[in-house]
Structure 1
Amino acid sequence: MMDSMSGRWWGVRFVAIGLLAVLANTSVVSAQTSGKHKKKASGSVATHRSKTTSHASQAGRGTSRKASAKGARGKNARGRNREVVVSKGHHARMRVEVAPTAESRRLTLAFTASAQLRPMAQQLIATRSAAAYNGVLGYASSHSGEAGAAADLSVGHAYMLDHRYAEAESAFRQAGQRGQSLDDYADYLGAQAAVQGNRASDAYALLDHFAERHPGSLFVPTAPILLANAYLGNNDPASALRVLLPLQSEPAGSHVDFRFTLAKAYQASGNTQQAAALYRGLYTRDPLSNEAAEAKTQLAAMNVPLTAAERKQHADAMFNAKHYDIAQEEYRALQKNDSELSSADRDALEIYAAVCDLRLKKLSRGDVDHLPVTGDDSAALKMYLQSELARNEGRTDEHDRLVQQMLSQYPQSRWLEEALYSGGNMYLLKRDSAHAIAEYTLLGQHFPRSTYAPNAHWRAAWLSYRLRHYGDAARLMDEQITNYPAGTEIPGALYWRGRMYEDVEGNFGQAINYYKTLDASYVNSYYAMLARQRIAVLGNRTTPEPAAALASVRPVNDPELTDSLPENDPHLIKARLLANAALNEYIRPEIQLSETSSQWGALAEAEIYESFGENTRALQAMKRSGLPFFSLPVAEVPMVYWQLVFPRPYWQELSSNAQINGLDPYLVASLIRQESEFNPGAVSKANAYGLMQLLPSVGKSLAKQTGNRHLTTSDLLNPSINLRLGTIDLKKSIDRYSGQIEYALAAYNAGDLPVRQWIATNDYKDIPEWVESIPYTETREYVQGILRNRELYRAVYSGKP
């Protein structure tokens, strides 16, 4: 082992992709914005979870049976006839037809019978107040059959969230007795309640032969795991092993919770060798799972130590997941406590821990100076740390000397790659374009396959344009299109190369070729919007043979879209029934069980959420669909998709407040979509509140100006109040910049100070050039995104009040 772990093997073993994703170390990419409005609140949709929810996504992954089924007829596991009909247009429109069956009719009756339950159940799951409980309990007592069963499920689910397991088990049992449509949910969730309420024996009958009683259920893959845990809860590992061992080669056997439960069963039966092997696998191969931490605890309890290689592999995974505090603790613990390590290994670990400290902003120059001197790639890492400290301290000369030293001594080190990208970004922020171009160019030369390469190449091209080195800029932009055709930089490269043909070379026809290619492939992008403006200015002109670079632009992949949903698909009906009972976390996994859900699942999920006012979840479902909305003409996509991905909740109040303040309502809608995704309860990490993400200090100041001296922070979560104050604030921001919306939007995101500095440069030909030159990636994309989406709102709702 010692030989295999020495110096070179040990090296810097961070996973390359993860490393490159997290070690940019650049304020260009993730600048801390100083304004009163911060980036969109993350995780802004309130969720209500318990241990019951973990199986929803797990089961969904394990049993989803998606098939393209284009023009095909067949039967699924339950024998349901399906037909996929393709109607040809500009883009394929799929119509999935499902013949009604006894099951679909029964589910439809259950859905219809419980329709009035939905608002009460959704209120219960959102608030779990006494009044909400009483409302659903009252419904349950006054309704029999499927409607009463749905209410029982809703109450049981709420009890689970409140850890009232005995009451939950009783409610689920009653649901199973009263209805058949969701009896698999009643049995499985009832078993969960029994296990979590320390009544494991009650779960046996509910889970035994589950797949035979509920074929095709979402919970077929996870029911054996829950049953095994029930046996373990009663100190019966032999029965747990009897349930699990036959399933090891099944899809469920690959699940983390299956392997963890199997490990527990082996451990409880005294087979520590098998248990240890499974625990080790969880710790190293699934390091971010909850089970990984418990696996480490159980290995220690069995007195089975992890190897140094396993511990480092786990620490590396923590680093790549940006859990720097955990990673540095593990590196240091390994360095200090493993007696088998060589001195070279210990030195390397000390340097790895220092990288974590750098990311945690805890690394000082003294710390770096005291790092050991090594001879492998960790020596390059130490130089990288020194260069980053020099960068942060403004010691440009020292930074450049260290980078040159790395170029000379470690020309293929990934730490040189990091240093060059960081150095380019440093000079970009310092507005030293020549040096930034040099760093970016070196990165491309030494690391052409780097994940940074496309962006570094584009930045060199753009900065060359800004320096008016048009020959270099033209060459680099055409190289961008040719060498990185799948990159996000392509729309910008097409537009600005077209601008050079137009403005610099006077080749208006070739400029039109670039603009039209851009419009055809990225029709709804910000740059296509600009391209259409240029085409309108240039008018009808003869166009030459398209430039060679344009052949590399990739065509849009036409998606298979459906105009309507397969109303007789049992999984769709069941998902709607789940919404009636407010079992919301199971809606998407249930839909995914359908063979043809890849054609309509996102639309169905979004429409279900929208039906009970969850516009934010509906929007997020459409974003997850993977449809290339920004490359598809509005007219060639069913309008229902556009209305879900560009929703208009609170429209009457929004448009009224916009009109009062002289604002375009579609600009306001686009800004809200970017800021909060229309979630009125959104609260960002920067403490910005509500639809338009106002800081409490800003909201209270605006309220005082309008005569309200008693505004509370929670008032900003009221959509009416937030819209009224937010539109006033946006109007003030636009007025501060003499009506220039791009400046105002940039300030809304980054704050006034940096925007004033960018404006003061005063060396931009026009506003698009100013926007392209915004050094904060987040702010630049924020401005472009809102302007793009404003145009899409106009296109979708043209002519509609």
Structure 2
Amino acid sequence: MKIKELLFSLSVLFVQLQLPTPVTAGQDQTTADRQFLQAYTQFQQERYVTAARLFQAVLETYPDYPLGDYAYLSLAESLVHSARYQEARTALRHLHARYPQSILLDDAAFLHADSWFYQGKPAQAVQAYVKIGKLKKYRRHPQLPLLHLKLAQAYEQEQRYQTALAQYHTTRLRFIASPVYESAKISEERLIAQAPTLLKFYTSTLLFDSIAKLINSGKAQDALAFIAILKARILSPAQHEKLALQNASAYYRLRKNLRAKALYRQFLRDFPKSKSAPYALDRLGRLSLREGDMQGFLRIYERLLKEYPASHYTASARRLKGKELMLLGQFQRAALEFKTFLQRHPKNPLTSDVVWNAGWCAYQLGRYSTAQRYLKRLLRSYPKSYHREEALYWAGRTAEQLKQYTTAVRYYQQVLNNRRNSYFGALSRDAILRLNTADPNLSMPLSSTKHKALPWQESVRFATQRGKRHFQKSLILERLGLSALAAREMDAAVSSDSRTQAQYLALARLYARSGQYHMLVRLMQSRFRDRIVQGDEDLPQEFWKLVYPLSFPHVVKRSAAQNNIDPALVLSLMYAESLFAPEAFSAAGAMGLMQLMPATGARLAQEEGLTVGSDQDYFQPQLNITLGTRYLRNLSELFGHHLPAVIAAYNAGEHRVIDWWDAERHPQDVARFISTIPYKETWRYVQKVLWYYREYHRVYGTKVF
């Protein structure tokens, strides 16, 4: 018996022992529960023949059993696995007839279509799959990506090869972040290899669009195959130009810098009058910076100034030059670049960022009055700037330098009013306390925003008949130890009722008990965001444990211990990287809980002596956490266990952060280091992880495990 089957059997036995001995009129209900759980145990252990027999017995003996829809669906699936397809479809018809409001009807529709597919009836399968695919209500169904893959396979079984090819291609591009992507890609490539005449399916327009989608979705390596197809075709001059640029962009995304530089230079030689020439120069400049070649970047910058003075890319390069000078500690020169930018590009979309950087340079140079003017300008003219919270904090720090303590407190209080529970919120609270200690007359209220009391101990109630029905089924499933199914019924109950806070809290607890951490934190962040952001002193500890769950505890605890990493850091990174979604996939191509790039994952797997069969393996929580934690260990050793630098390097790469770190000379002022980070994504990321890290220790103490 497999380990997971043994554990499930033991859990079921425990639940059965907990069920009360039937002595009243509830005897039939309790006996039915036992028999259903016995059948479901066999089903989970993939003993489908036995499971089918037991489910049939439950349905025959207890025709009004509340979980009858689960029995019918599980029976049908067991019958499909037992190659009893017609009986499976009969069971599904009974499910529809007996339980017309069951939440399982969508699953039943997919299973009905699958029964034709597995029976080897591709025509009927195609008809069923196409029908499902056209209905809007299924567009978010988790089985939809797999349905489209099976539809392509059914077309192939019918020997409709061009239609199958089109379906494989559509599937991989539509579900590019799904695990079915790799299967669709392999099948598409196999069909082309078997029948090269199918290449006519790919119109040039389709190929160009597909290449763009793949490059922008972190699949630049796969785009190269379509680029090769286009290279073999007779193209118009405009198409040649477009292809040359896409080819260079693919290698740029792949970080194959030398190849990308050669291709962009070739593009500029072949298409010197192209409207995309400034873009190509911009890429060349950024490639120089990737390689640490500041002089190379400056040569590109001067060329942009000379040849394309009014281009958006010229303005962008001026800002980038200023940022790079800041990283080198050359704040005087950086300030001059930013000042020139504001004079020559006052309405550019990048202006708000440049105003911030100009103020930051002035602060670093000790020109606090100038810094204050820039920060006031940013806060006044760009109220929606992503720098706003940071600018308010540094406006407070600037006011302190100018001995304007009342003004400083006012800025800090604005941070707290906007987002008390955040990285800069915590710094602002500390600053007010520090100033208040020096001068009690500067004190301002620090208490949390008062919310209506959360119905924490309140028994959950439902008003609608539908809500009550789903809730009762949820209670039964939870009693049987089937928490994931119970959560699904509870979600349906809440959605069909008044959606009270008590109902959402009950759903959150079920997500926590069933290990559905992604669903848990999504729910908490969406339904209780104001309380999380502004804080509430009356909230119990359990609330915060739902906000910051100990996700995948066994793997995290073991991996953290093996690598001498604080498990709170691992949890905080997962929270920020993927929101605890095992199948998370970024536009850059990062995968899984800790968002590993396949190349990085392969290197780490080699260090750990692990074998990775395919990139899809990175979606497995155990492998992803094991490798991600090893990467944290490597970075921690590289940066002397300095947390902000480690976090920044995890997001942006160690080579770039080494430059920032050296430029700041290992600062003790963490906020100053964070404000020096030139990348918006990394800047936000470091703040977020540090805040989560602080919260995990606040909620769980020094040791989270």
Please give the TM-score of this superposition, normalised by the length of structure 2: 0.66
RMSD of aligned alpha carbons: 5.6
Q: Distance in 1 between matches of 2:452 and 2:71?
A: 37
Residues 591, 597 of structure 1: 8 Å contact kept: no
Is residue 2:226 matched to residue 1:359?
Answer: no
CA distance in 2 between counterparts of 1:306 and 1:650 reads 44
Corresponding residue for residue 115 of structure 2: 230
Cα deviation code 1:445-486 (max 9, x no counterpart): 769675x76555534432332123334422332333344434
Look up the match of 1:333: 228
Q: Does 1:344 align with 2:238?
A: yes
User: Higher mean Cα deviation, 748-757 or 304-313?
Assistant: 748-757
> How many percent identity over aligned positions?
21
| Counterpart code for 2:113 | A
* Distance in 2 separating the partners of 1:265 and 1:212: 29
Matched to 1:489, the amino acid is H
Partner residue of 2:585?
none
Q: What residue is the counterpart of 1:512 in the other structure?
A: 409
Alignment of 1:184-583 (within 5 A): 184-195=69-80, 198-208=83-93, 210-232=95-117, 233-235=119-121, 237=123, 241=127, 245=131, 248=134, 250-252=136-138, 256=144, 287-288=176-177, 290=180, 293=185, 303=198, 305-330=201-226, 332-339=227-234, 341-364=235-258, 365-371=261-267, 373-374=270-271, 375-407=273-305, 409=307, 419=317, 423-434=321-332, 436=334, 457-504=355-402, 506-536=403-433, 537-538=435-436, 539=439, 541=441, 562-563=455-456, 564=458, 566-567=460-461, 569-575=468-474, 577-578=476-477
**Deviation (angstroms), 1:204:** 0.9
Does 2:547 match 1:645? yes
Asked if the contact 1:222–1:252 (Cα under 8 Å) also holds between the matched residues in 2, the reply is: no
Residue 377 of structure 1: how far off its partner (Å): 3.7
How many residues are aligned here?
601
Q: Which moved more, 1:190-199 or 1:391-400?
A: 190-199
SS in 1 for 2:201: coil
Between 375-384 and 592-601, the greater mean CA deviation after superposition? 592-601
Residue aligned with 1:402, SS:
helix
Question: How far 1:145 moved relative to its partner?
Answer: 0.9
Following the alignment from structure 1 to structure 2, what is the Cα–Cα distance between the partners of residues 576 and 775?
Answer: 51
Question: Aligned partner of 2:356: which letter?
Answer: W
Q: Separation in 1 of the partners of 2:513 and 2:378? A: 45
For 2:606 and 2:691, the matched residues in 1 are separated by 26
Distance 2:76 2:348 in 1: 51
The Cα shift of 1:513 comes to 1.9
Distance 1:792 1:520, change over 3 A: farther
Question: In structure 1, the residue corresponding to 2:431 is in which secondary structure?
Answer: helix
Corresponding position: 1:156 with 2:26: no
CA, structure 1 residues 600+171, in 2 after alignment: closer, same or farther (shift >3 Å)? Answer: farther
Higher relative contact order (CA 8 A, sep 6+): 1
> Counterparts of 1:770 and 1:465 in 2: how far apart (Å)?
13
Asked whether the 8 Å contact 1:153–1:175 carries over to 2, the reply is no
Alignment of 1:742-761 (within 5 A): 744-746=642-644, 749=647, 758=661
TM-aligned CA deviation for residue 319 of structure 1: 1.6
In structure 2, what is the Cα distance between the partners aligned to 1:421 and 1:696?
A: 40
Write the distance in 2 (CA, Å) between the matches of 1:284 and 1:756. Answer: 37
Which residue type is aligned with residue 396 of structure 2?
Answer: G
Residues 276, 745 of structure 1: alpha-carbon distance in 2 compared, 3 angstrom cutoff: closer
> Is the aligned partner of 1:145 residue 2:32?
yes
Letter in 2 for 1:399: F
Tell me, what secondary structure is at the counterpart of 2:105? coil
Aligned counterparts of 1:243 and 1:758: Cα–Cα separation in 2? 55
Structure 2 residue aligned with 1:128: 4
Q: CA deviation at 1:313?
A: 1.8
**1:19 counterpart residue number:** none
2:102 partner SS: coil
In structure 2, which of residues 501, 524, 542 is the aligned counterpart of residue 622 of structure 1?
Answer: 524
Give the AA of the match of 2:417. Answer: A
The structure-2 alpha-carbon separation of the partners of 1:357 and 1:439, relative to structure 1 and needing over 3 Å to count, comes to farther
Q: Show structure 1 runs of 5+ residues with no match.
A: 1-123, 545-554, 652-666, 688-693, 699-713, 738-742
How far is the alpha carbon of 1:493 from its aligned partner? 1.0
| Bigger Cα displacement from structure 2, 217-226 vs 429-438 | 429-438
Q: Which stretch of the first structure deviates more once superposed, 241-250 or 480-489? A: 241-250
Check the 8 A contact 2:161/2:191 in 1, yes or no.
Answer: no
- Paired residues of 2:512 and 2:520 also in contact (CA < 8 A): yes
Partner-residue secondary structure (3-state), 1:635: coil
Q: Is the 8 A contact 1:207 1:227 kept in 2?
A: yes
Query: Following the alignment from structure 1 to structure 2, what is the Cα–Cα distance between the partners of residues 380 and 469?
Result: 35
* 8 A Cα contact 2:392 2:412, kept in partner: yes
Displacement of 1:278 in angstroms is 7.3
Contact 1:417/1:447 (CA < 8 Å) preserved in 2? no
Aligned twin of 1:690: none
Could you tell me whether the CA contact under 8 Å between 1:368 and 1:382 is conserved in 2?
Answer: yes
| Deviation for aligned residue 1:128 | 1.6
Amino acid at match of 1:526: Y
Give the corresponding residue for 2:491: 592
- Output the CA distance in 2 between the equivalents of 1:154 and 1:417: 65
Shift of 1:149: 1.1
Q: CA deviation at 1:217?
A: 2.4
Aligned position for 1:674: 572
Cα displacement (A) at 1:494: 0.9
- Please name the residue that 2:616 is paired with: none
Residue 497 of structure 1, CA deviation = 0.8
Aligned to 2:508: 606
782-791 or 467-476, which deviates more: 782-791
1:507 Cα deviation from its structure 2 partner: 2.9
Distance 1:634 1:227, change over 3 A: same
Using the alignment, how far apart are the partners of 2:216 and 2:535 within structure 1?
38
Q: Which moved more, 1:199-208 or 1:781-790?
A: 781-790
Query: Secondary structure in 2 aligned to 1:473?
Result: helix
Q: Partners in 1 of 2:454 and 2:392 — Cα distance?
A: 28
